[in-house]
């Protein structure tokens, strides 16, 4: 077992599950594109016996757990080498640590540029849309969190050509998502689809609501939010989408032809201290492509 991780690259939580393998695969390629370091970490949770009277752990359990963790790390390192070859991440490391999974990863996220996890792990609810670890990290991590799904979609577009999609609403966290989305689109050499969706049922119930004016206002907000970023990333072609639709619905629809979706952890409807907004929750759970949740 090695010393605690100290780095400023991409961190991946490894547990040997199919979702974990998908996360390692995606993170390795993203780190290679960025020229960033990659750290693979497996957390060895302290054994907890939930019986009364307390039942002692079997002899050799700790050693077996350590061996399992080391095997998961070796498999992940081999996957990285197989996926990226010589032109891989700047540096690759792998280690096991003892601690509670979520608090440990949250602490490590203070030193990472991004943390990458599978949508679900080895838990009992394998059919759940989002596992407890990934769900907790998108709420509490100190850096952007990429959630990677492990299912194969036969209708998915060519990931090498598909665009990056970002949700923009004018909020401070949306600005962080915009910055990250431009960066990802530039690294990939693909189009960026910037989505501004507005929909409020109560507005349409008001007599004389000027929908055309609302659409024009939305186009103006989107243009203002993109202006500086397009100058900074002249290599990125941007397609603007202003839609009279619920933001989550529009982003999920756009994700069907994308390779990546970037959202803020909460938007203009969020309040100070809010952990995760309804839009980002819905997109992370429903999109079938990787989703990065930008943290404030």
pTM (predicted TM-score): 0.85
Look at residues 182, 185, 191, 198 and name the one whose alpha carbon lies nearest to residue 249.
198
- Whether the Cβ atoms of residue 177 and residue 262 lie closer than 8 Å to each other: yes
Q: How far apart are CA 182 and CA 237, in angstroms?
A: 10
Look at residues 6, 8, 62 and name the one whose alpha carbon lies nearest to residue 34.
8
Q: How far apart are CA 179 and CA 16, in angstroms?
A: 32
pLDDT of residue 272: 37
CA angle 179, 181, 185 (to 5 degrees): 120
Contacts of 201 (CB under 8 A, 6+ apart): none
Q: Based on the number of CB atoms within 10 Å of its own CB, is 204 exposed (0-12), middle (13-18) or buried (19 or more)? A: exposed
pLDDT of residue 266: 62
pLDDT of residue 1: 43
What CATH code would you report for 10-148?
A: 3.40.50.12370
Q: How far apart are CA 184 and CA 114, in angstroms?
A: 12
- Where along the chain do its domains lie? 10-148, 164-294
Instruction: State which fold the 164-294 domain adopts.
Output: Rossmann fold (3.40.50)
> What is the distance, to the nearest Å, from the Cα of residue 253 to the centroid of all Cα atoms in its chain?
18
pLDDT of residue 126: 43
Q: What is the mean pLDDT of each run of 10 residues along the chain (296 residues)?
A: 59 92 94 93 75 66 85 94 80 92 94 90 47 85 92 62 92 88 96 85 59 81 90 95 88 95 70 54 90 88
Place of tokens 């009279």: 244
Q: Which residues pair with 239 in a beta bridge?
A: 193
Q: How far apart are CA 247 and CA 117, in angstroms?
A: 24
Asked whether this chain's domains 10-148 and 164-294 adopt the same fold, the reply is yes
Cα-trace Rg, the chain: 21
pLDDT of residue 269: 45
- Whether the Cβ atoms of residue 15 and residue 72 lie closer than 8 Å to each other: yes
């Amino acid at each position: 077992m090695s010393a605690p991780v100290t780095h400023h690259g991409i961190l991946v939580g490894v547990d040997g599950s199919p979702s974990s393998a998908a996360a390692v695969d995606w993170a390795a390629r993203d780190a290679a594109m960025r020229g960033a370091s990659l750290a693979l970490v497996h957390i060895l949770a302290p054994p907890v016996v939930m019986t009364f009277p307390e039942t002692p752990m079997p002899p050799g359990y700790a050693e077996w757990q350590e061996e399992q963790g080391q095997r998961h790390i070796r498999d992940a390192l081999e996957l990285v080498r197989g996926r990226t070859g010589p032109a891989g991440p700047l540096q690759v490391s792998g280690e096991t640590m003892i601690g509670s999974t979520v608090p440990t990863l949250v602490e490590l996220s203070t030193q990472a540029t991004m943390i990458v996890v599978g949508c679900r792990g080895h838990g009992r609810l394998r059919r759940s849309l989002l596992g407890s670890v990934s769900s907790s990290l998108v709420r509490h991590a100190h850096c952007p969190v990429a959630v990677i799904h492990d299912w194969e979609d036969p209708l998915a577009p060519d990931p090498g050509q598909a665009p990056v999609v970002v949700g923009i609403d004018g909020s401070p966290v949306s600005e962080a998502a915009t910055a990250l989305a431009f960066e990802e689109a530039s690294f990939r050499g693909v189009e960026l689809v910037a989505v501004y969706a507005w929909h409020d049922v109560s507005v349409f119930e008001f007599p004389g609501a000027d929908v055309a004016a609302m659409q024009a206002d939305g186009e103006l907000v989107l243009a203002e939010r993109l202006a500086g970023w397009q100058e900074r990333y002249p290599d990125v072609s941007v397609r603007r989408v202003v839609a009279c639709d619920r933001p989550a619905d529009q982003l999920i629809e756009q994700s069907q032809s994308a390779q990546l979706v970037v959202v803020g952890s909460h938007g203009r409807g969020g309040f100070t201290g809010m952990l995760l907004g309804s839009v980002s929750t819905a997109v992370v759970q429903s999109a079938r492509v990787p989703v990065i949740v930008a943290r404030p």
